[in-house]
Amino acid sequence: MSEDNDTIFYKVSYVVLGGKHTGAIINVDKKPEVGDEVTFDDNVFEIIEVMELMPSVGNFAFLHATCKFIREAE
């Protein structure tokens, strides 16, 4: 794959600490990083851990991200 075609698509399984939120599986085009904020289900969460669930295949990667509730989305 050339440098110009290095776009990777990520399917991310978000798991929320504490069990009060169900989490989500979301397709994103930017790899989530620790400290990033993500919004789903009208709430904002901070990512505290990111793990690759399996090696990427072509331009697709499947990740697990653990996050914690920060606040309700505005």
What's the pLDDT tens digit per position in 13-45?
999 999 888 899 999 989 999 999 999 999 999
Q: Average per-residue pLDDT in the chain?
A: 90
Tokens for 30, please give them.
């930017």
CA-based nearest residue to 11, from 59, 46, 47 = 59
Q: Given this model, what pLDDT does residue 5 score?
A: 58
Neighbours of 66 (CB within 10 A): 17
The pLDDT > 90 percentage for the chain reads 72
Kindly list the domain boundaries of the chain, sorted by start residue.
Answer: 7-72
Choose between 19 and 52: higher pLDDT: 52
**What is the model's pTM?**
0.84
Per CATH, the number for 7-72 is: 3.10.20
DSSP state of 33: -
User: Residue 40 corresponds to which tokens in the numbers above?
Assistant: 């789903």
